[in-house]
Structure 1
């Protein structure tokens, strides 16, 4: 579903450079929770899809069909702008073009591509490597050229800091900007001074990834907004919270042999029905009965 208004909304959010927090969703219900809590945009997380639906680590196991299916389901469930994680684009520049066409049809408002060697891995894992700058730039050019709607945003991520150093990562990001990327993402910087430096070193709006337990020092969204970041990404905060919630509830059930709504470990039955829109479906059932 093409939604030009949500793409324009996302561009305005990014251009404001006020450090808007964007949580990651790993399915339609998590996206509903994010929207219900008043957030302004959603990140469709490849790591989250891989962890929650395959039970596997973020090491390149997700394919284009997987992320396209989740994007379409999330797009149908919420109206917020969607930033979609497309990993390396699932191949070469031609595959990147196909990925853009596929995810644009699925309802993405922004598509993220990274420059890792395939199979990629989480940006905060060890053992990463990146493709050549020339190939990486050509893939960003292909992404920019492939979009039907010019308001669809392209987010270019580089993991070069881990392998080639901070200065090399900045140089790559600048070349991505020159190739037409709308948003830049230098992943897994490890020093506070690097976090502080990026907004003054690159002119395009930027995303900073706050990975809970990851390699990058944690800054508050207010601090990052003051520095000039457009997006503060918490890609898997919902996922990590969901895992902890499941562990707590199921441990209590295992040990005490029962659970109650009043115990503070599970969402009430009525709240679950509200989040999935049961009242609206009930109204439709009455209308068509």
Structure 2
């Protein structure tokens, strides 16, 4: 029996949203975390650009990971898990023709929703200072190009605005309305600064014809609200992009500190998978089954 998951069928994410099933998507950026998250009770996974830039390049999320880095990682994850994948695509990695190329490349890679931003290029993480956005007309044109570029309506366009931090919530909500009018399937107002701001976003954008997504980054610029509360406020999806990064880095630091201090991992207080668990996580069951059938 093949132990590896089958990729999610096209349109799986759209179908969940149409059924009004609230979607919680943890952030993933490499295959161990993606496989673990895939086996949990989540409706989708979210490929975080911060995580890919940090884990793949050892660099900050400041527009330094390019299209090839991100599209290839998206392909690997999308084809290695059974849940729909939402994927960060920054500002589209260039001008309008690059956005068209990015949309088609992500769709071909098996991603089910692509996130595009209105920041100036190079962009920055949405929970850092000094982010600047392009003029509204330019931001809308990006979304119009993305909507026209996709092959199937099952491939969802997420339009993110970072206008809240520099230009205020009114401008961010106005941009969200414009993005929905331009054809975005999902609108993403980045880094609201209070629960009341989340309430306003839900109240003013929920009727604009697009689903709403919230970004939960504990210790970031926004308060962390529960999935249940976000649903009450009018949101349809929520991502937790840093949950694995924050947890994994803390666990790795603790495990290595214990080894450095004791000269052994025996008795370490840090939880660890044993080798059998790792074998099963990466799919050795499939190798063993193949060998039983074909090895001489």
TM-score, normalised to structure 2, is 0.93
**C-alpha distance in 1, partners of 2:84/2:116?**
17
Partners of 1:213 and 1:32 in 2: CA distance: 26
Alpha-carbon distance in 2 for matches of 1:110, 1:6: 13
Query: Alignment RMSD, CA only?
Result: 1.7
Per-residue Cα deviation, 1:46-70 (whole angstroms, up to 9, x for no partner): 1000111111111111101001111
Greater fraction helix: 1
Aligned to 2:98, the other structure's residue is in SS state helix
Structure 2 equivalent of residue 129 of structure 1: 132
Larger deviation: 126-135 or 262-271? 262-271
The TM-score normalised by the length of structure 1 is 0.95
3-state secondary structure, aligned to 1:131: coil
Number of matched pairs: 287
Note if 1:86 corresponds to 2:89: yes
8 Å Cα contact 2:28/2:244 also seen in 1: yes
2-structure distance, mates of 1:9, 1:148: 16
Change (3 A) 1:98 1:261: farther
Matched residue SS, 2:255:
helix
- Which one of the candidate residues 236, 239, 259 is aligned to 2:242? 236
Greater than 4 Å deviation, 4+ residue runs = 261-264
* 2:68 equivalent to 1:62: no
Instruction: Pick from 40, 51, 54 the counterpart of residue 51 of structure 1.
Output: 54
**Structure 1 unaligned spans of 5+:** none
Quote how far apart the aligned CAs of 1:215 are: 0.5
Return the offset for 1:269: 1.2
8 Å contact from structure 1 (residues 211, 236) kept in 2: yes
2:115 and 2:196 mapped to 1: Cα distance?
Answer: 25
Q: Are 2:13 and 1:10 aligned?
A: yes
Counterpart contact for 2:25–2:46, Cα < 8 Å: yes
Aligned to 2:272: 266
Higher relative contact order (CA 8 A, sep 6+): 1
SS at match of 2:158: strand
* Alpha-carbon distance between aligned partners in 1 of 2:18 and 2:171, rounded to the nearest angstrom: 25
Instruction: Kindly indicate whether residue 233 of structure 2 is the aligned counterpart of residue 227 of structure 1.
Output: yes
